A and B are shown apart, each in its own frame.
Chain A
């Protein structure tokens, strides 16, 4: 299915929020691919980092949130450090995690109620994001 673009779909609230929370301008990205090239986790991601930014430019936040990418991201910040356009990709990843956690849920990760097996499975980064979600 073709992405159908218009100015409303591009400038969605989610997209504005993503930029606000991450403090980065996704339109600075010129799709060089450096972020993806250096990412240690890219092989396990549904959507590689540069494409996350691309989809954000098209306002396709839903599509990104449907992927596993931001949960796989290790927050190593390699991408943000190397980006020639100073796009804070890892900041975008963190913002995506927070948006996902905030979306319609008061508290999805009732940590105390999780079994030890579940805790084993849960990416640590999700736990950290969960702690941070209401502070940023």
Chain B
């Protein structure tokens, strides 16, 4: 018989206050298989671990049961402990007498009895445990970054500069994301383009980075270290290898459309480049609006193109890529003004959102950086900024704080004042949230030097009256209701996840929260990982954040990828479900229930075959198999039966 050591932890008083440790030890010391039993105040501490190691060596134990907390917390800790003492780590078992016993009971007698049953059942399991070795897997040392905003750009550069190849996939024709649209950035007011475009150029010139813009991920299979990704390269209507980005076609194209990059304020053509500094410097045809595509007439672009790049080819192309890690950096959008009826529902031209105001402030924007309102081009002299629009309003809109709008609104008011010296900016706010290096000082400077008037209260309504927008609010600090006849209003609308995030996360098999932001593996300790091994997160796709936070997180995600790639081989848990070929009838029931596609029926051999690396050990197949051919390592039917018997008081 096996020699099993049982180690009971008090967990301070977390366990011992509810479970009578002495009584439990008394009840267990003669249980079959128990060669040694001992308790300690903190088993996970260094002395606690030393104690286990010593007993393994001294008594030649070949099984250990640690009766403590949840394996989620400390299974790994104690596996390493026994391994250090020369025991196979899969012969260590944890009996959870804290989360599943002491924390949920008050009555000491009941809790003690239950703890004894739990421990007995785990001893039964340990008696039948076999030595296992982790499964080794090769790694493809190449990463794919999805989304090329500042988050994706930073991640790609960091990984590429560590010597690994990166494929950067961006849905739009150019990389850059929202940051490319910004004017100047808080708190230092450096011009967004000036700090971003050099990075964009570095990406496009980097020998290790393969750029795939105007592309989307359409299928993902495989697992950490070995993903297969199918990417759709959307038809551009021309050959990008031939096009040299001269832009003659965009000049001559007669079809004018509102520019998405300028938030509809400026114009673009049906063949266009989103903005002059676009990377790659290439154009695309907007098929839906191209006259030639609609009626067969025009084709001017094709005539003027000096290198004959334009072919009007509408066929999307698909490519398959093999990568070892994927980073999801798909960014954000802002809540559409059209969906906010109380603030005009997008019908009042001089009520705009923050991104539109960024374009108005931008030197490369539709007004060349002069603050002019959209309706009549007049310079607004009284301008109102509303914070928390749709954020922090669980009743009607979204419950969360969008985090960046306090700061960018202060920036907007400040930049406005720098452009329009005789103008007056007003900011309606609920709370000013200016946490960050130099942020509070920035806010105070806006009030003190730029005389921005901050009014504490939410605006209840606004309406157009002649050429003014009447804003009705309150200042809860002086209890005065306030009315402002403004020339223009800027709404700090909530940050929401980018479109298509649900579909993409289904492909990647990663989770999102109720609002569509990516879920991290642990909110504090694993903030850049998803729960799916090999898939990482960066930027606003995870939650609203500003550029400094986005860049730090992006570098964090890159370093996780480099850590992964630094492994010789990947190790996969050996607690998987195999096939006993002598028993398997090839019925294939298990292949249907497997959520990971790990099991395939071999019709010739009339057998099921298992991809050990894909198996996550969930056990669904083992439960479904009618013949018992599918047995989970160290969770065999025999073990489970013995555990149940022990719990029912029939063991031993």
Contact = CB atoms under 8 A, between A and B. Distances in A.
Contact of A4 (B423, B444, B454, B484): B484
12 contacts: A2-B482, A2-B483, A4-B484, A5-B426, A6-B485, A7-B382, A27-B447, A30-B447, A57-B453, A58-B453, A58-B482, A60-B480
A55 B455 CA distance: 11
Contact of B472 (A1, A2, A10, A50): A2
Contacts of B382: 5-7
B381 A54 contact: no
B482 A54 contact: no
Nearest to A63: B480
Interface string A29-62: 0110000000000000000001100110110100
A134 interface: no
Contact of B484 (A5, A50, A55): A5
Find the residue from A1, A30, A60 having the highest chain B CB count within 10 A. Answer: A30
B477 A31 contact: yes
Interface SS majority for chain A: mixed
B478 A51 contact: yes
Contact of B448 (A11, A25, A50): A25
A7 B483 contact: no
Nearest first, the 5 closest Cβ-Cβ pairs linking A and B are A7-B424, A2-B481, A2-B483, A54-B478, A28-B448
A27 B478 contact: no
Given A28-B444, A57-B453, A58-B482, 20 more contacts: A2-B472, A2-B480, A3-B480, A4-B483, A5-B382, A5-B426, A6-B424, A7-B381, A7-B382, A7-B424, A27-B448, A27-B451, A27-B452, A30-B444, A30-B447, A54-B477, A55-B480, A58-B453, A60-B480, A85-B448
Contact of A58 (B422, B423, B448, B480): B480
A7 B423 contact: yes
B423 A3 contact: no
Interface in B474-516: 475, 477-478, 480-485
Contacts of A55: 478, 480
A85 to B, nearest CB: 8
Find the residue from B423, B426, B456, B475 having the highest chain A CB count within 10 A. Answer: B475
Given A5-B426, A5-B484, A30-B444, A10 B478 contact: no
A40 to B, nearest CB: 22
Contacts of B426: 5
Interface of A: 1-7, 10-11, 25, 27-28, 30-31, 50-51, 54-55, 57-58, 60, 85
Interface of B: 381-382, 422-424, 426, 444, 447-448, 451-454, 456, 472, 475, 477-478, 480-485
B250 to A, nearest CB: 41
A6 B477 contact: no
Nearest to A1: B481
A30 B485 CA distance: 24
Contacts of A11: 424
Contacts of A50: 477
Nearest to B479: A51
Contacts of A54: 475, 477-478
B424 A3 contact: no
B447 A58 contact: no
B425 to A, nearest CB: 9
A6 B478 contact: no
A28 B478 CA distance: 16
A8 B456 CA distance: 21
Nearest to B468: A6
Contacts of A25: 448
Contacts of A28: 444, 447-448
Contacts of A6: 382, 424, 484-485
A55 B477 CA distance: 10
Contacts of B452: 27
A3 B451 contact: no
A27 B446 CA distance: 9
B482 A5 contact: yes
Contacts of A3: 475, 480-483
A54 B456 CA distance: 11
Nearest to A52: B478
A3 B426 CA distance: 14
Given A5-B453, A6-B424, A25-B448, A58 B478 contact: yes
A59 to B, nearest CB: 9
Contacts of B478: 51, 54-55, 58
Contacts of B444: 28, 30, 85
A61 B418 CA distance: 27
Contacts of B477: 31, 50-51, 54
A19 to B, nearest CB: 11
B76 to A, nearest CB: 48
A39 B481 CA distance: 26
A31 B447 CA distance: 12
A11 B76 CA distance: 67
A106 B558 CA distance: 75
Contacts of B483: 2-5
Nearest to A57: B453
Nearest to A47: B478
A55 B510 CA distance: 53
B153 to A, nearest CB: 37
A37 to B, nearest CB: 14
B246 to A, nearest CB: 47
A28 B424 CA distance: 16
A5 B456 CA distance: 14
A92 B46 CA distance: 64
A4 B480 contact: no
A4 B468 CA distance: 13
A2 to B, nearest CB: 4
A50 B479 CA distance: 12
A31 B424 CA distance: 20
B16 to A, nearest CB: 48
Nearest to A25: B448
Contacts of B475: 3, 54, 58
A129 B542 CA distance: 61
A11 B482 CA distance: 16
B453 A10 contact: yes
Nearest to B481: A2
Nearest to B422: A7
Contacts of A57: 453
Nearest to B484: A5
B439 to A, nearest CB: 14
B274 to A, nearest CB: 37
B481 to A, nearest CB: 4
Contacts of A31: 456, 477
